[in-house]
Amino acid sequence: MTPEQRIACLDIRLPDLLNPVGLYIHGKCTGNLLYLSGKGTVSIVGKVGKDITVTQARQAAREVGLYLLAAVRHEVGSLDRVTQVVKVNGYINATPDFAEHPAVIDGCSELLIEVFGEAGKHVRTSVGVSSLPGNMPVEIEAVVELKSSQSQLNNRLN
């Protein structure tokens, strides 16, 4: 089953991407790698360990994963172009004593594995930070490998 078929079977709906707030783009290809800008959630705000629970933050990370998937589709046309998820970097707006960072970012990682199967397994970093834009609880960026090269992608887009 392809990733596009999986999200249809799982009844997952990808959100509309918001315009970047700043001077950056959603993603950039180099060779067969697509680097995705950090995405955050708009439905949940606050500091993890103070304003929101680990469970709420984990749900926020899953929501951020949906935005990352939407960015992939936006940049290359289809999730079926992804060979594998390579790396995920997760940032948690957390109190200084918070220590459950991996549990939060698991919300995104689980979604990527649901959609891409074994190819969704990735290397990962999850760290706490003192603040994030808009008081988001979570921001996540990713790198995915694509089936075709940059030149083939440029030909498809032109």
Q: Which residues contact 78 (CB under 8 A, 6 or more apart)?
A: 4
What is the Cβ-side half-sphere exposure of residue 142, based on CA atoms within 13 angstroms? Answer: 28
Q: On the CB side of 121, how many CA atoms lie within 13 Å of its CA?
A: 2
Return the domain boundaries, the chain: 3-16+31-149
Which residues face 33 on adjacent strands?
30, 145
Assign domain 3-16+31-149 to its CATH superfamily. Answer: RutC-like (3.30.1330.40)
Has this prediction a pTM greater than 0.85?
Answer: yes
Flag residues of the chain having pLDDT under 70. Answer: 149-158
Summarize pLDDT for 42-74 with one digit per residue, the tens.
Answer: 889 999 999 999 999 999 999 999 999 999 999
Task: State the pLDDT at residue 148.
Answer: 77
CA distance 49 to 57: 9
The tokens for 93 are 């707006």
